[in-house]
Structure 1
Amino acid sequence: MIRPSLIAALLLTAALLAPAPPARAESGAAGRPVATDARLVGDDARTRLIIDLSASADIKAFTLADPYRVVIDLPEISFQLPEAAGREGRGLVSAYRFGVLAPGRSRIVVDVKRPVAIDKAFVLDAVEGQPARLVLDLTPSDRKTFLQSRAAREGDPTGAIASTAPPKTNDLPVVVIDPGHGGVDPGASGPQGASEKEIVFEFAKRLKEKIEAGGERRVVLTRDDDTFVSLPGRVKIARDNAAALMISIHADTLQDPFGVRGATVYTLSGKASDKEAAKLADKENRADLIAGLDLSDEPEEVAGILFELARRETSAFTAQFAKGLVRELKKAAKLNKNPLRSAGFRVLKAPDVPSVLLELGYLSSKEDAKLMMSEAWREQATQAVAEAVDRYFATRIAQGTPGR
């Protein structure tokens, strides 16, 4: 009787040796290798991802948890795969996505249904009419082994590399989290000693932990303690760190007879979406005056055509993230009746950094204040924001616009 494992191995080998479909391109822009086709074969005992390449390339593969993923880093590739590539899974794989991660670097992210082990990860050279082929073999594992596994596996003698080591921290896209207020600027206050500057700082620290847990992004806080940072200073931190995204966190008060409450996501606009948004922006924009800063000599932002082009692109990415953030927050937190708004917030004015202001809730609402001081609520809400960040970057990678 032939063992099922042997049958699976034979099927995987057959898939690897099968004739390749006609390649659509010899090489991409600037001579980059081209990925022309991709397929999944195998079952829950062993799953193989095969990607046809126009030229060989070194790769590094590693695993990430929560959610379970396998990541393959490789030099910049021109992906000319079928439109449906990666949308459907097979065996241990639920889906995969791909795109340019940064200049000179590409990434393939494989979503897996359970903990897995990277059994093999290598690239075969082109030979006898067959294209070069990237091969990833996955087998079942358990969570403990998945989390502890750090060993590298050498691939084919061609020099391909498979490694569980994550990319260098300095190469990761940067997310700037801006806990509003601080120091001499206390922000809003609420019942039972609720303090805006303390609530948003605790939220920002927890959110930083969650975003960095996946090993795919680096987080920079605009303040690490109870200190004051000016509004231009917060924007400068984002730009100096070449941030791919900025999230400014607040928890304000509004004197509203109808008891306004719930989380709200704000984007930048020259004209406020409503009177409520305009009042809030005006209040937040006075933070530097509260701290006693002289703004009369504040330099103007760079002007001109390039500035406007950058602003338009940034605005589109901002809107994309803001909508996704509202979607994720809806699952974990009470939202405002109008959760997506816009106004002229000065802290969102970096022309080249997609930026949103997240109002966690309103300290003028007893219900919101109680929630925002709750550890359980903070855990749920930060998880929702972290997932929105993950989905945003996954979409940008798939679009070939991963940020910095």
Structure 2
Amino acid sequence: MAAGLCAALGAVPAQGEPAKSQNDFPVATDVRLEQQGETVKLSMALSTVIGVEAWVQAAPDRVIIELPSTNFQIQSGARKSAGFISAYRYGLFTADKARIIIDLSQPATIVKAEAKALRGGLGELVIELRKTSRSEFLAEAAKAKKANTTVAAPAPAKPPGETRRTVVIDPGHGGIDPGTVVASIAEKSVVLNFGLALKEQLEASGRYRVIMTRDDDRFVPLADRVKVGQDEKADLFISIHADSLMQAKDVRGATIYTRSERATDAEAAKLAAKENEADAAAGLETSEEVQDVAGILIDLARRETRTFSGVFARNLVDKMGASVRMHKIPLRSARFWVLSAPDVPSVLIELGYMSSPKDAELLTSAEWRGKAVGAVGAAVEEYFARERASVGQAAENRHAQ
């Protein structure tokens, strides 16, 4: 997670929606951050007047500003902090919303949050904050939390008569959550490009129904990613990420992760903790839901799912290891929330280390991507081929009896 990241974020069409150009979005430019006494003001020039909503949130303390989809074209030298504003970031949040998130070092209240009309149809976004007491801040945050509680949308129905295996591809991060950012390269873009290429390859075989948790630059909460796999009755869930270890830039290679309550090592535990904080980057107050389902059947399902996840993970290590560089410990496990569905075999692929200059170069290479996508596709083929073979053998055994 890159605190205070200020990078221009675009958008590509959402699944099932007509294509939208960035030119269709209001444009935000010329950000200014000014402090006067106990008041700090953040302003941006707008190409038009837009609707604005804002509220405060505790633990961590921040201000959330929600706007329509916006094309942020912010100058690279913009001031990043002032007074009690320690950092801010912005980007697409959903298909039709953008967010600005302001991190606070001290409690503050919202004095003003509006888009003012200027001459020529232009606008100006003005967010004015003033220092306040902890008790008043918490009271405001509690009211905002209650007002922003939403009801989950109904689950989509899997098409009747569908016989192809369903594979869910989950490009990590997205929208306002860029993931790791190194030398202006954002993890969210690297993994989206990989996921779309993998989708294209799997669909070309005609054997798979492929669902993307996101196919554009939008944010998807962790719980929604897990829910997609369960609602679609996925036969495989593949989450795509790119690691970073800034204190050891010589560490390289891809790593395959499965879910376990106890991490295989400290690095795996640290990575899982970082990935599990994805919702916080977008200003969501969530925590992992514990599936409180008693009984031996759910325990058996979970064990079976983890067995299948392990089989596929080993396939990935074998196939990817023959095509691209792997980490010295290529198979690991940790408590990743996105892999928590008890009924969906799930793995998380860290494609490489963006903190390694060599890996960062490869991750943006079409040639390397082709090799890695081909290896993952081959692992998917082998996984389901073994399944088909085992089903066929069981049928033969039944006929022989």
Q: TM-score range by the shorter chain?
A: 0.5 to 0.7
Amino acid in structure 1 at the alignment position of 2:174: G
Match of 2:170 in 1: 178
Task: Render the CA deviation track for 1:42-73: whole Å, top value 9, x for unaligned.
Answer: xxxxxxxxxxxxxxxxxxxxxxxxxxxxxxxx
- 2:247 aligned with 1:263: no
Q: Secondary structure at the residue paired with 1:306?
A: helix
Corresponding residue pairs, total: 235
- Aligned-partner Cα distance in 1 for 2:185–2:356: 11
Alignment partner for residue 236 of structure 1, among 227, 237, 248? 227
Within 5 A, what are the aligned runs for 1:374-385?
Answer: 374-385=365-376
Match of 1:389 in 2: 380
8 A Cα contact 2:202 2:208, kept in partner:
yes
- Aligned-partner Cα distance in 2 for 1:258–1:178: 26
The alpha-carbon distance between structure 1 residues 350 and 296, as it changes in their structure 2 partners (threshold 3 A), is: closer
8 A Cα contact 1:169 1:218, kept in partner:
no
- Aligned-partner Cα distance in 1 for 2:214–2:392: 28
Match of 1:94 in 2: none
Task: Render the CA deviation track for 1:312-357: whole Å, top value 9, x for unaligned.
Answer: 0001111100001000001111100100000000000000100000
Within 5 A, what are the aligned runs for 1:29-40?
Answer: none
Task: Render the CA deviation track for 1:349-386: whole Å, top value 9, x for unaligned.
Answer: 00010000000001111010000000000111100100
Q: Quote the offset at 1:292 in angstroms.
A: 1.4
Match of 2:286 in 1: 295
The alpha-carbon distance between structure 1 residues 401 and 294, as it changes in their structure 2 partners (threshold 3 A), is: farther
The alpha-carbon distance between structure 1 residues 189 and 297, as it changes in their structure 2 partners (threshold 3 A), is: closer
Match of 2:217 in 1: 226
Q: Quote the offset at 1:255 in angstroms.
A: 3.0
CA RMSD, aligned part only? 2.1
Decide which structure has the larger Cα Rg and report it. Answer: 1
Alignment partner for residue 362 of structure 1, among 338, 344, 353? 353
The alpha-carbon distance between structure 1 residues 297 and 244, as it changes in their structure 2 partners (threshold 3 A), is: closer
The alpha-carbon distance between structure 1 residues 303 and 363, as it changes in their structure 2 partners (threshold 3 A), is: farther
Match of 1:309 in 2: 300
Within 5 A, what are the aligned runs for 1:123-162?
Answer: none
Task: Render the CA deviation track for 1:157-211: whole Å, top value 9, x for unaligned.
Answer: xxxxxxxxxxx983211000000000111100123x2210000000000000111
Amino acid in structure 1 at the alignment position of 2:336: F
- Please list every run of 5 or more consecutive structure 2 residues that lacks an aligned counterpart in the other structure: 1-159, 394-401
- Aligned-partner Cα distance in 1 for 2:165–2:213: 16
- Please list every run of 5 or more consecutive structure 1 residues that lacks an aligned counterpart in the other structure: 1-167
- Aligned-partner Cα distance in 2 for 1:352–1:378: 30
Runs of 4+ in 1 over 4 A off after TM superposition: 296-299
Q: Percent identity?
A: 53
Q: Secondary structure at the residue paired with 1:288?
A: helix
- Aligned-partner Cα distance in 2 for 1:374–1:297: 35
In the superposition, the TM-score normalised over structure 2's length comes to 0.56
- Aligned-partner Cα distance in 2 for 1:176–1:360: 17
Alignment partner for residue 330 of structure 2, among 336, 339, 345? 339
8 A Cα contact 1:187 1:252, kept in partner:
no
Q: Secondary structure at the residue paired with 2:181?
A: coil
8 A Cα contact 2:256 2:348, kept in partner:
yes
- Aligned-partner Cα distance in 2 for 1:347–1:285: 8
Match of 1:114 in 2: none
In the superposition, the TM-score normalised over structure 1's length comes to 0.56
Q: Quote the offset at 1:253 in angstroms.
A: 1.0
